[in-house]
Structure 1
């Protein structure tokens, strides 16, 4: 089955339905858990949640960032057994999954999620678990009605906002997934064609078989402050100066060090290309070698604005760039 564009091109329900009563049971159990306010300056702290699936299976209020460890279910997922069952049944590549509460009277002001687009390789899905008819959810200026038991796709790279004007808390599972064939098979072909007009669609890439020459990629380079907010948590004002970086083989993996500390692992997906653990496939390294020595590092970034400082706080400045190739040299062997 394929989704229909019933509510317009900014959001639509995928052709899957879930048991409303079992979702309600999960919602009651989740309601007993401690919740963390979500990041962003576009709400007053009332928008809060709990991670069900996260880097290393550890609680975080944040969407995906580069990591040393892969995504896994958190202990809190056991409080939502049906939701966990749903997530395990989907043939998608899961990144962060959060269950988010917006209380009665709560508001999330207009903002964009710059990294949720087909070029970056990440989309955000919603599974409503508890809601009411007086929730006003606008995506791209159009009101979208999501019902309990449905699975929704939304283009959250467009301005969106929520106001809970009802008398019941709004509770959604927000599911970040990498783009793969299983996801695209559920989407209308005309919508995929429309999204591909913005640039190459970044699909999840499997691990490359050859791994015995990782030491030849070891090197040092500099990450400019203009791109650092994409790769690192922290105060944006502190990242303007950029950071020193180093690639080092550790066992069967290539590890990225930033300012002397272990930051994340890379996954080799081609002879010279590496995706980043914790990130979708639209952000990756290309490392060129000569005579068995790395001599150039390029970071390829698809589908994000040039001003990443503004983008990290939900503000879109400038057009989305289909693909940027950022030369991180000069460099030295590691």
Structure 2
């Protein structure tokens, strides 16, 4: 359904821990793969056609609870708090490093319904994008979004994300909740959603929809959908002909409706008129865009393709009329990417600060964050499929198929500082800590890539790495097979199994040393003109000078004023200070003594 804004948070919150406990009782066999085979996407049906879990993707027929919902009291209570007529309901899981590809929901079902999201298991690395906005929906919150706009989801974390997803036509109570909601751009000061605590009394009396797609579609629905499509169309030379064709289609449908109504005796006439309309719209509207990026023809098929269906027809799934984003897989890399820039460094070296600053260049395009999901969503590139050995990728991993898929994913996800999709060739700026172990892979995928090695005093990096591990906010592999100790954090280095049982300072020291040694070996193999050194100390001491020097080296324009100090980066744990590492000097000193050869090598490389 089209909404005035991309996202609205409803004034309800729920106990995510209690919800997680309920879904943990479900069997893994209850989860079904995405109907379009989208990697990392799976769902567990809670309300489906006739309550049959096997029809979890179907959209036509009476929606009823599945056995899993019937035995989940708090899930039913959450649904009851919405006070609405319920359609299809699913738990939707997005594996770590995966994504929901850009698309718009143009079919008849979604034109009439709102999609409600209640995050149950999630992390800060999960981002929901809708049009030019993006949010991280926190566990236990309640959100709706505009399904008519282009939207996508990325999970840059290693852990899976699970949302309760509810489809609803709405109700007076529900729309009162929406009116009391908070648009995503509104301040949170004073925002006090009502907490719905688990209770032990009788479960909610839930209402489910029994009618969702009439056949044939009524005249009034046809007229309303046509008017909506015409209002969404962008000016185009074919529009006068499309308006005439659409008006004639509505008049013919009106005549048939008053003649036959829903009598099956008229189905052949309805089908003849519908097929002729869709055929001509396919010819005239293929290149006519709507405001959401879909084509007029594709949206017309989504809205009217099932307008005439016999009762015995198979249930309709949502993928039948989902409109994808731009087909990036057909974009050749030589036509899209021009000297992409990859910032590489050991963990906690200040790469977020450098990335967030350089992304303000008018020439830089980014994906808005780190590329865990973009890269590891490609089959075979995630650590699980590689035996949990490490995040290391080499040129051998950059097969032609993998390289094209990766370029397509980066192209589809990129935007400039004004959040506009790139047109023609563009300069990608990318920063993901794991890429310090992937330089040969990236250099093979992007033959003209430029690498920026960010050097930071190893004592500062080691102290910050210890802080990151202890904070619990950087856990990448919390269930790493064979690992004993605090949940594994930051990138996974080759040889990590040798660190089992070691004190955390030793683990962090080995992690820094392996990363630095590998990335320096790899950078030495990159032509000198395609690598640049950046220094963290210079960046914080004199931002204008260091950023100016880097932009000149990279060929980036710069038109932004920079003060004497830069704002804190997104991944900051505590405010950085040059001598903060001394608080942990007793832990760091023995580690430095063991890795002094690599420390000296890094210092020499950065001094060039």
What CA distance in whole angstroms lies between the structure 2 residues aligned with 1:116 and 1:143? 25
Structure 2 gaps, min length 5: 184-226, 229-259, 280-297, 327-608
What does residue 546 of structure 2 align with?
none
What does residue 130 of structure 1 align with?
121
1:14, 1:151 within 8 Å by CA — same for their partners in 2?
yes
What CA distance in whole angstroms lies between the structure 2 residues aligned with 1:19 and 1:190? 19
Moved more, 141-150 or 128-137: 141-150
Q: Cα 1:31–1:107, aligned 2, differ >3 Å: closer, same or farther? A: farther
Counterparts of residues 248-267 of structure 1 (less than 5 Å): 257=310, 261=312
What does residue 312 of structure 1 align with?
321
Aligned residues: 221
Q: Cα 1:137–1:116, aligned 2, differ >3 Å: closer, same or farther? A: farther
What does residue 37 of structure 1 align with?
33
What CA distance in whole angstroms lies between the structure 1 residues aligned with 2:137 and 2:307? 45
Per-residue deviation, residues 97-138 of structure 1 (Å, max 9, x unmatched): 0101111111111011124899x3211110111000011221
What does residue 146 of structure 1 align with?
137
What does residue 50 of structure 1 align with?
44
Q: Cα 1:111–1:15, aligned 2, differ >3 Å: closer, same or farther? A: same
Indicate the SS of the match to 1:95.
strand
Are residues 1:166 and 2:157 paired?
yes
Indicate the SS of the match to 1:187.
helix
Post-superposition shift, 1:145?
Answer: 1.4
Point out the structure with the larger strand share.
Answer: 1
Give the counterpart of 1:220 among 259, 266, 286.
266
1:130, 1:171 within 8 Å by CA — same for their partners in 2?
yes
Give the counterpart of 1:103 among 95, 102, 109.
95
Are residues 1:17 and 2:13 paired?
yes
Q: Cα 1:63–1:243, aligned 2, differ >3 Å: closer, same or farther? A: closer
What CA distance in whole angstroms lies between the structure 2 residues aligned with 1:55 and 1:167? 33
Post-superposition shift, 1:82?
Answer: 1.4
Indicate the SS of the match to 2:323.
coil
Q: Cα 1:49–1:26, aligned 2, differ >3 Å: closer, same or farther? A: same
1:29, 1:80 within 8 Å by CA — same for their partners in 2?
no
Structure 1 gaps, min length 5: 193-197, 200-214, 229-235, 246-255, 265-277, 280-307, 318-334
2:99, 2:155 within 8 Å by CA — same for their partners in 1?
yes
Per-residue deviation, residues 281-311 of structure 1 (Å, max 9, x unmatched): xxxxxxxxxxxxxxxxxxxxxxxxxxx9x97
Q: Cα 1:257–1:80, aligned 2, differ >3 Å: closer, same or farther? A: same
What does residue 288 of structure 1 align with?
none
Post-superposition shift, 1:191?
Answer: 10
Indicate the SS of the match to 1:167.
coil
Moved more, 128-137 or 75-84: 75-84
1:93, 1:178 within 8 Å by CA — same for their partners in 2?
yes
What does residue 321 of structure 1 align with?
none
Post-superposition shift, 1:244?
Answer: 12
Indicate the SS of the match to 1:185.
helix
Post-superposition shift, 1:13?
Answer: 0.9
Are residues 1:186 and 2:177 paired?
yes
Q: Cα 1:10–1:62, aligned 2, differ >3 Å: closer, same or farther? A: same
Per-residue deviation, residues 236-261 of structure 1 (Å, max 9, x unmatched): 9xx9xx9996xxxxxxxxxx636xx4
Post-superposition shift, 1:88?
Answer: 3.1
Counterparts of residues 271-290 of structure 1 (less than 5 Å): none
Give the counterpart of 1:64 among 45, 59, 62.
59
What CA distance in whole angstroms lies between the structure 2 residues aligned with 1:227 and 1:39? 25
What CA distance in whole angstroms lies between the structure 1 residues aligned with 2:306 and 2:177? 41
Post-superposition shift, 1:81?
Answer: 3.0
Post-superposition shift, 1:19?
Answer: 1.4
2:9, 2:181 within 8 Å by CA — same for their partners in 1?
no
Per-residue deviation, residues 24-78 of structure 1 (Å, max 9, x unmatched): 212322364431112337x33x20011101110011341522x2xx211001214
What does residue 269 of structure 1 align with?
none
What CA distance in whole angstroms lies between the structure 2 residues aligned with 1:183 and 1:243? 28
For the aligned residues, what is the CA RMSD? 4.1
What CA distance in whole angstroms lies between the structure 2 residues aligned with 1:188 and 1:243? 32
2:46, 2:66 within 8 Å by CA — same for their partners in 1?
yes
1:116, 1:157 within 8 Å by CA — same for their partners in 2?
no
What CA distance in whole angstroms lies between the structure 1 residues aligned with 2:307 and 2:135? 44
What CA distance in whole angstroms lies between the structure 2 residues aligned with 1:162 and 1:217? 40
What CA distance in whole angstroms lies between the structure 2 residues aligned with 1:146 and 1:13? 9
What CA distance in whole angstroms lies between the structure 1 residues aligned with 2:306 and 2:324? 24
What does residue 211 of structure 1 align with?
none
Moved more, 31-40 or 137-146: 31-40
What CA distance in whole angstroms lies between the structure 2 residues aligned with 1:96 and 1:166? 28
The TM-score, its normalising length taken from structure 1, stands at 0.56
